[in-house]
Homo-oligomer: A and B are copies of this chain.
């Protein structure tokens, strides 16, 4: 639709982010895929995670198998380190006889730190990044890459979900997961397997009392927030699912939105930055709009 595209690009030169969102067509939004969505159910509410099988197929398959085996239900948040991560898993996972059974999930997986950029959608950002030769977005995920023929990986931005590991690169299997709750720890990029990102409910994780022990661990596991359940959205009764749409990170509407973040036009700003950084660009999320009922005959 060249008319819409041209209008959006012109608008972006003088518009605010809100104006771009208000003016974007329905096609600028996409629904969450319930088979690629995980619900972390906490006493305070639901955290919605979009999984990234395109970056870590083995780990994401394992995470889904663990959720379907109710592996995490009744466990607790083990760690909340200020300006860094919240993490959960089985505190006894290395204790024979006490470790929770993995069910149909695999105990050992290869590291999935990066993948080939070839075949991956990629909308490059116009600005420089110190951590990667190129940065941009791929189906909503903040991504670094070495070029179209090199490697690509998820960037450690606010809300990223990764698979905790010990020193061996292949020591993660997805049973222990962490979420970034502070300044983007991009030094972790390409050093660990990443499996998704939180699209709703970050404020339930970010407020958790920080653990007093080193690295934010609670001194006793019982001090951490309880995990009621972790479920694949597709397994939850349809009426109980969280219906969300995400702003697409390709096309003219996205380009227009990025430009409104690079140079803010709201009246408050005195000096547009002429820059946006990868982890400063939140992808908009909204409840799926209700379908208008057909008019009565």
Interface string of A2-39 (1 = CB under 8 A from B): 00000000000000000000000000000000000000
Give CA–CA (A191, B267) in the complex, Å.
11
Could you say which residues of chain B place their CB within 8 Å of the CB of A130? 127-130, 275, 277
In whole Å, how far is A214's beta carbon from the nearest beta carbon of chain B? 11
Of residues 93 through 151 on chain A, the ones whose CB sits less than 8 Å from some CB of chain B are: 113, 127-131
Give CA–CA (A277, B186) in the complex, Å.
9
A173 CB-CB contact with B under 8 Å: no
Whether A169 touches B209, Cβ cut-off 8 Å, given contacts A130-B277, A182-B182, A275-B130, is: no
Interface string of A174-191 (1 = CB under 8 A from B): 000000001111110111
Closest B residue to A205 by beta carbon equals: B82
Q: Are B167 and A267 in contact (CB under 8 A)?
A: yes
| A131 contact from B167, B209, B267, B275, Cβ within 8 A | B275
In whole Å, how far is A66's beta carbon from the nearest beta carbon of chain B? 23
Q: Are B157 and A183 in contact (CB under 8 A)?
A: yes
Closest B residue to A127 by beta carbon equals: B130
A220 CB-CB contact with B under 8 Å: no
Could you say which residues of chain B place their CB within 8 Å of the CB of A279? 183
A288 CB-CB contact with B under 8 Å: no
Q: Are A203 and B210 in contact (CB under 8 A)?
A: yes
